[in-house]
Each structure stands twice: as C-alpha cells, then as structure tokens.
Amino acid sequence: MLKRSIALFLYLMLGIVGTGAQASPLKPTLDKTLSNGMRVLVFENARAPTALHMVWVKAGSIDETNGRSGLAHVLEHMMFKGTKNLAPGEFSRRVAALGGRENAFTSKDYTGYFQQIHKDSLREVMRLEADRQRFLKLDEQEFKKEVQVVMEERRLRTDDSPAALAHETLLAQAFQASPVRNPIIGWMNDLEHLSIADVQDWYRSWYAPNNMILVVAGDVKADQVFAWAQQFYGPMPSRALPKRKPQEEPDQNGLRRVKLKAPAQNAFLMMAYKAPTLRESLGPLLPSATPARDLVALDVLSALLDDPGTGRLVRRLVREERIAVSVGTDTDGVSRGPGLFMVQATAAPGVALSTLETRIKEEIAKIAKEGVEEKELQRVKRQAKASQVFRQDSMFSIAMESARLLLAGRSIEDAERWLAVLDDIRSEDIQRVAKQFFVDDQLTALEFEPLPLAEAAARPKPSGTMRH
C-alpha cells in the first residue's frame, strides 16, 4: 500500500466514519457466512442510488510457486474471456450495457473483482459474477493471446519504468525465501513458459467459495443482498484448499546493496528496512502490546519524515540543502507476508547518492536519540482523525479495507483498535522503533544510475490492450 502521510494511510485503511469526537468502528450492516464457506459483508449506505459489488479471492502472488510467478494475475485476465454461458468479452459488455463499470486487480495477498452499478442492477451483476467464478471457460487460444497482453503490460509498466524496475529489483534483493520477493506481474521467463494447464490448476485450487469474501456496499438492503448471495453463490461447492506453507524469511544479518542502470533522467536511491506488517502473527492491536505499538509508531515516523508540509526529510533534503528533488517514505501496512519501511530520494543534479543516504540516516538517528516534540506528534494524530470525516464518502475504500483486513487474518475491529493504539503513541515509541528497525544489518539499499534516454527511445514500443 502506498502512503503519503498518516492521515492518508488511515483514510484508506481504517474504515472509520463519522464527524463527532468519538469515531465509530468499521461495522457492516450484515456479516454472515453461506453454508459453503463464503463470507458475506454488506454495508448499507443510501447517500446515492448506487451499489458496489466485490468478490475477493484469497490467492495472490504470495501463493505462487517457483516457475509460476504471475499466475494469479494471468488468471485475473482470463476471467474476462468467457464462461460456459458467456462469450469472451460478454461479461464486460453486459456490465457496460447496465451503465456500470467493472475491473479487477491482483496483489500479493489476493485477487479482487468489482462492479459499480445502479442499485437496480445489483442482482444481475451478482448473477454474472457468480457465473464466471464457477463456470469459467479456460480456452487455450484465448490464453495464448492474453498471456502476450500480460507480457506487454510487464514491458510497459515494469521494464520501461525506472521506478517500477528498481522496486522489483529491490524486493528481489531484500527477500531471499519469502515469495513476496517475486513481482505480482511475474518474471518474464515464467510468463513465457506458463501453460493453460497452470491456469486451470490455479482456478481449481483457489477459486472456491470457502476461499472468498463477498462485499456489497451502497443503497441496498442487507437481507435482500444475502438472499441473492444464497441464490447465486450458494450453489458453488466448497473444496479443500491447498496447504499454505509458511515460507518465512530468514533473519537478515548484514547490509545488502544493489546497483541498477536503466534509461532515465535522474539518479535515485531506495532504502528498505525490514519492518512488521499487520498480519495474523502480529498479535492483538492493543496499546499494551509492543508489536502493535511498533507497527503504528513506524507509520507515524513515516509521516514525520515525509509530510509534504512539515516532514523532516522534505525540509532538510529538498528545501534547505536542496540536494534532493523529492523524498518519500512508505510502509507495507496490511499484508499476509513480511514487510519493509521504504525511503526513496531522487538526487538533485550533481549530488552523489551516498550523500543522500548519509543525510537520511542522520535524520533518523537524530530522532532515535532525541525523540520528537509533542506538537509534532499531536499534529500527526489530528491529521489522522480529521481524515475520518472524508472516509464516509468512499464506499469503495470501506469495502476494500474491510476485506483486506479479513484476508490478512485480522479482524474488522482492528480499524478501531488502530486508533486506540495511535492515541497512546508517545515520543519514546518513535525513538524505540528508530533504534530497533533502522540499522544497517536490516537495510537493503538500491542505487539507480540513469543511462541516456536515447537508449529507451530505440526500444520497440508495446502494443495491445491492458485492462488495468
């Protein structure tokens, strides 16, 4: 998850609504499970005559095995290529004819499918979605065409994008055993050797109702939605799921450094420190739990460093010393796998990347030694709470984050608990995480050296249509 400030992070993650001093937790109108294991969440919101329908499958790139990277994403593409009852592309055409829009997305942890439509069309899109979740037709000729589209997507969005290519390279260096090291879109060689049998096996293995969450939000009636869920999704048979192996990352005991060259305008630095994520093994989100305090304190620290108006790294590197064009930080947030605290800085012309790295480490070391002023901490907390007001305007974010918490093995109530921990975060918490996590033995650094852009212009440009 990308985060530019603690306010934005909580806006996207917490699912808090309301304008009063006391926030209400993210709470669905209905939370029930079908007899086949599919969990159904409904959020009633009558502010507009629309409905959002989402199906989440707990299967992403973290579940892929060696030689099959990109498989979850390829199947996502194939989900639009027809069923026993619909021709290729007909699903999208029918949703468009209803005046709606639809798409899908793949992450490390899950694959999601959604439609946004007028509330009167909800029953029909539920029928359509249930059809492809159960009766997808995986045709080899369609697969051969679509995997070429995915390969072109990779060329355009990763191979020809310095930032994306650097991020992919950094992850592959930072992690050795965990599958989070593999790109969601897949390694090119794996894509070239995927088969229709691989896709069929993935669909049979993971696309079962007991591995899915259905989320509906908008101007709907919860009981009616659940009745339709029983009608359309209820007949899907549950299945035994493949056993997930832990694949835990071994401890890192020394600095890792990698250099990358590609056509671009500016040199930049990426620094990645091992950091916790909000996953099942973290334990309870309580003010009394140190792992919970660490998780929240790291995100507070991120905001303190890169807030566009007052962030310490922004102020020093960009405004005062003018040695960086930009600087930003990021934490991984909710995830089933291990995570990183990332710092990225783009160098001003003539500035060595080693200079940026030194300055960044100095600022973090200063916080570890001196802590932060109370007014800085209170500002971050006020930003977080103010973001709650805007949360109620986004059905998509509410639906999305409720499912993400559940798929990571967490509880929806973690939204409220996060705020309770945030309220109790103190300067000593920020000092502790700055000392504990920001050490060279836990650091992977990438130095990006730009090559002349003429080399990029000489490359053939990809063609074709990409869904997202």
According to DSSP, the β-strands at 212-218 and 324-331 are: unpaired
Q: Domain for residue 354, yes or no? A: yes
pLDDT in tens, the chain (468 residues): 334 344 434 433 433 222 233 344 578 999 999 999 999 999 999 989 999 999 999 999 999 999 999 999 999 999 999 999 999 999 999 999 999 999 999 999 999 999 999 999 999 999 999 999 999 999 999 999 999 999 999 999 999 999 999 999 999 999 999 999 999 999 999 999 999 999 999 999 999 999 999 999 999 999 999 999 999 999 999 999 999 988 899 999 999 999 999 999 999 999 999 999 999 999 999 999 999 999 999 999 999 999 888 899 999 999 999 999 999 999 998 999 999 999 999 999 999 999 999 999 999 999 999 999 999 999 988 887 666 556 656 888 889 889 999 999 999 999 889 889 999 999 999 999 999 999 999 999 999 999 998 765 555 554 444 555
- Is the domain of 293 the same as that of 221? no
- Is the domain of 329 the same as that of 371? yes
Q: Domain for residue 270, yes or no? A: yes
- Is the domain of 346 the same as that of 407? yes
Taking a C-beta distance cutoff of 8 angstroms, is the pair 407, 336 a contact?
A: yes
Q: Domain for residue 114, yes or no? A: yes
Residue with the two structure tokens 């091992």: 274
Query: How many domains are contained in the chain?
Result: 2
Q: Domain for residue 290, yes or no? A: yes
Q: Domain for residue 353, yes or no? A: yes
Take residue 113 and report the two structure tokens written for it. Answer: 């499918």
- Domain residues for the domain of 317 are 256-457
Q: Considering just the CA atoms, what is the radius of gyration of the chain in Å?
A: 23
Quote the Cα angle for 31-36-42, to 5°.
20
Per-residue pLDDT, 397: 86
DSSP 294-345: HHHHHHHHHHHHH-TTT-HHIIIIIIIS--EEEEEEEE--B-SS-EEEEEEE
Taking a C-beta distance cutoff of 8 angstroms, is the pair 461, 325 a contact?
A: no
Query: Which residue type occupies 146?
Result: E
How buried is 66 (Cβ within 10 angstroms: 0-12 exposed, 13-18 middle, 19+ buried)? exposed
- Is the domain of 155 the same as that of 289? no
Tell me if residue 76 is catalytic.
Answer: yes
* Percent composition of the chain: helix, strand, coil (DSSP 3-state, to 5): 45, 20, 35
- Is the domain of 275 the same as that of 383? yes
Q: Domain for residue 159, yes or no? A: yes
Residue with the two structure tokens 């977080």: 384
What CATH number does residue 221 fall under? 3.30.830.10
- Is the domain of 63 the same as that of 118? yes
**Euclidean distance between CA atoms 92 and 94, whole angstroms:** 5
- Is the domain of 220 the same as that of 263? no
- Is the domain of 264 the same as that of 183? no
Task: Give Cα 10 distance to the centre of its chain.
Answer: 14
DSSP 18-48: -SSSSPBP---SEEEE-TTS-EEEEEE-TTS
Per-residue pLDDT, 424: 95
Q: Domain for residue 200, yes or no? A: yes
Catalytic residue, candidates 44, 64, 76, 249: 76
Q: Domain for residue 468, yes or no? A: no
Per-residue pLDDT, 468: 56
Per-residue pLDDT, 391: 60
- Is the domain of 381 the same as that of 310? yes
Per-residue pLDDT, 385: 66
Q: Three-state secondary structure along 87-108?
A: CCCHHHHHHHHCCCEEEEEECC
Domain boundary among 232, 247, 272: 232
* Sequence-distant (≥ 6) Cβ neighbours of residue 430 within 8 angstroms: 297, 300, 301, 304, 367, 371, 372, 377
Quote the Cα angle for 20-16-286, to 5°.
105
